[in-house]
Amino acid sequence: MSEKLDQLKEILGEVSDLGHAGAILSWDQQVNMPPAGGEARGQQLATLGKLAQEKFTSDEMGILLEDLKKEFPDPDTDEGALVRVTARDYNKAKRVPADFVAEQALAATQGLDAWVEAKGKSDFSIFRPFLEKNVELVKKYISFFPPADHPYDVLLDDYEPGLPTAEVQEIFGNLRPKQVELIKSISETKQVKDDFLHKSFNEGKVWGFGESIITKFGYDFNRGRQDKAPHPFETTFNVNDVRITNRFEKNAPLATLFSAMHECGHALYEMGSNPAYERTPLAGGTSLAVHESQSRMWENLVGRSLPFWEHFYPDLKKTFSSQLDGVGLKAFYKAINKVEPSFIRVNADEATYNMHIMLRLEIEIGMVDGSIEIKDLPDIWNAKMEDYLGVVPPNDAQGVLQDIHWSYGSIGYFSTYALGNIISAQLWEKINKEIKDLDEQIRKGQFGELREWLRANIHVYGHKYDPRDIVRKVTGEDIDSAAYVRYLTKKYSEIYGL
């Protein structure tokens, strides 16, 4: 083993430890922390962020990386990939002052607390000054980098390395008219009934049923846990401590099941990462779009499929006999796949979901380039919702305040959800060619072969390959929406008789 590589790993391990300590504090902030603890928590996170930034961007790190580029020139080896990915992250981080990292961490904590209050009161004005601060900091962050084709490129690159804004807009531009056409065709048919999904369901039983599903998927509760939070998320502290959170909504009680599946998909990715990559930049998922391909696959391509409910519906009906009395399997399957423009992104059906994402991408680009003023966001949001989906949110909580991301400065994130949908369908076609009886396995409640295929072809590589490279490696294709359009068209043609 190279002495210099050992030195690099030692520094990276300490940076990783600081980052994961911050992640634990962030998890606690959303799960356990009393409301009054926000200010102190912000200072703690700021300190950890600053220390990690200083350690990662040290002169020692720069010298080691230059030497190791010569020692491990092959980017396809684990060592070469570690040097390549670390050098890329280092060159970006070196441009960002540690004091700025601390300032951004503090603003994120304050923004999160303000968002929770604003959403609870459905009052954007409470959150507005904190969002203005976050956007101001995001613009400052962009200024640390050389001019890009679009300033949004700098932000997107943090979540989807190497994918420019123009390419995402092109992908969405090709997809949008096809989804609009599908939605229009569905709107002209007889609507399916789903009133039974909105009855009163026992929260504890729904929560427990969700945990039984993800246990079958392979989520290991010896290496993870599920807790309540204002917004569902997955967080990783190490390969053996991968946690998820969820929520219960009285007006959409079974959404908890699909959120559990979604976050489980993220967690399985993290749990399947090569343990040898621990405490280095190679650990975990390669990008948020690839990550979302996993969560959306388990939530939708598996969890909203007919074979899946052929296995689980008898137990669900037994658990909620009064709510589902007289509701057959096919009626339930159609109901959970009902296409109807709605206010809330995370509860949106597959046919309309990407419309929510495209709307957010437009708004984020406008916030960054200055064409949208924060004070106008509620009105702009509502106008775009009417334009994209034909509905107008009745209040801020169901409109501009519904998502948590902007509260902690994560601007550049949203497009990865739709990209994840696209990639999931590309992977699904490949998987079905290689696991020819996949539907039958799902029908029997057997998910092991699917999980291990994903682990062997995606998860184990961690961040060794960039997102577009891993998609090409597995499917032989670039990121392309054709497979997703085929999937949606086939599924909804059968449900709605198109």
Q: Are 248 and 207 in contact (CB under 8 A)?
A: yes
Residue from 160, 234, 263, 362 carrying the catalytic annotation: 263
Residues 6+ apart with CB under 8 A from 412: 152, 154, 155, 156, 158, 159, 364
Q: How far apart are the first and last CA of the chain?
A: 61
Task: Please tell me the distance from the alpha carbon of residue 114 to that of residue 83, in angstroms, as a whole number.
Answer: 40
**Beta strand 234-238 with 241-246: parallel, antiparallel or unpaired?**
antiparallel
Q: Are 408 and 137 in contact (CB under 8 A)?
A: no
3-state class of 77 per DSSP?
A: coil
H or E element that contains 264 = helix 255-271
Selection from 455, 463, 475, 176 nearest residue 294 by Cα: 455
Task: Please tell me the distance from the alpha carbon of residue 218 to that of residue 269, in angstroms, as a whole number.
Answer: 11
Catalytic site includes residue 136:
no
Residues 6+ apart with CB under 8 A from 126: 114, 117, 118
Neighbour-count burial of 391, counting CB atoms closer than 10 A to its CB (0-12 exposed, 13-18 middle, 19+ buried):
middle
Q: Are 221 and 238 in contact (CB under 8 A)?
A: no
What does R_g of the chain's alpha carbons equal in angstroms?
A: 22
**Residues identified as active-site:** 263
